[in-house]
Amino acid sequence: MSRIHEALKKAQMERGGATRVEDAPPSMRHADVTEAPVAGPSAASSSGWQEGRRTGPIPIDVLDQHCKRPTWTPDPKIAGLMSASSSGMGTEELRTLRSRLYQIRDRQQPNLRKILVTSALPGDGKTFLTTSLGLMMARQHGRKVLLVDADLRRPQLHATLGAPIAPGLTDYLSGSADALDIVQRGVGSDLYFIPAGKTVPNPAELITGGLLGELIDRLAFNFDWVLLDSPPAVPLHDASNLADMCDGVLLVVRAAATPFDIAQKARAELQEKNVLGVILNQVDGAAGDHAYYYNYYTSEPADPQGTS
């Protein structure tokens, strides 16, 4: 806990001069490209599948056959990540974060797959991080990634991707759309996306109704990673409820902007959850939205080789 406390304190004190996270060791850099998921996607048989079913796993071939493939027009800040040859600002930090998540799964938490990304306050950069990390993960050959916009109050993930907002989660959870109606897939990529859907007056009730967790479980076995973008952890309770549906949580705080007491409250809200790490966003404000400093902390004992 003390190391996480230090990370939150640093978010308030940082005033520029970005500090790069240490380069991953050669073994990790190699694993970054070649690591195999502990529990990779399963090509379940579609035999007997019927459209309109709201229970049971959805086979990947059925999903691919029915999911929409709209042309996305992503935010220019992340558009470069759509290319496997991209080497712009932030890509090395994203690769490091991606590798460390694989490392956690390989060494400590073999069932880690569904990750909630939340923040202390609006504007801390959680949606930008969710999108960028999802694109970076899907760039690896054969890796399938599902992004879910679970921020039903102020959804932004569709805007960052340049994708349609509906039909989406609210349509499914309210019974007006089937699961196959709400999944999109990027043209020529292994990145899949479920948008938030139409605005509703009762987002908290939809989140806690039970159907959302079931939907994520029905889809998750097809993917290497499932990333959920959630509302900020303060002052809403949505993030805590969504964390119960996931295997781990990433908490984003913005350096020199997120008040220390608010960051502490966000961490307290997630006290009983599996917080994988705290991410300091935009440490060097002069470098713009691409500047990230990924500070990784875990409650597990330190790796004896010093690579965690």
Pick the CATH number of 2-20+58-295 from 3.40.50.720, 3.40.47.10, 3.40.50.300, 1.10.3720.10: 3.40.50.300
The phi, psi pair for 105, rounded to 5°, reads: -65, -45
pLDDT of residue 130: 96
Per-domain boundaries in the chain? 2-20+58-295
Helices assigned H by DSSP within the chain: 2-13, 26-34, 60-66, 76-79, 91-107, 126-138, 157-161, 169-173, 179-182, 203-207, 211-220, 238-243, 260-269
Per-residue pLDDT of the chain (308 residues; tens, 9 = 90+): 445 556 555 555 553 443 333 333 333 333 333 333 334 444 444 544 555 556 788 999 999 999 999 999 998 888 777 665 565 557 888 899 999 999 999 999 999 999 999 999 998 999 999 999 999 999 898 999 999 999 999 999 999 999 999 999 999 999 999 999 999 999 888 999 999 999 999 999 999 999 999 999 999 999 999 999 999 998 788 999 999 999 999 999 988 888 888 888 999 989 899 999 999 887 664 444 444 444 443 334 333 333 22
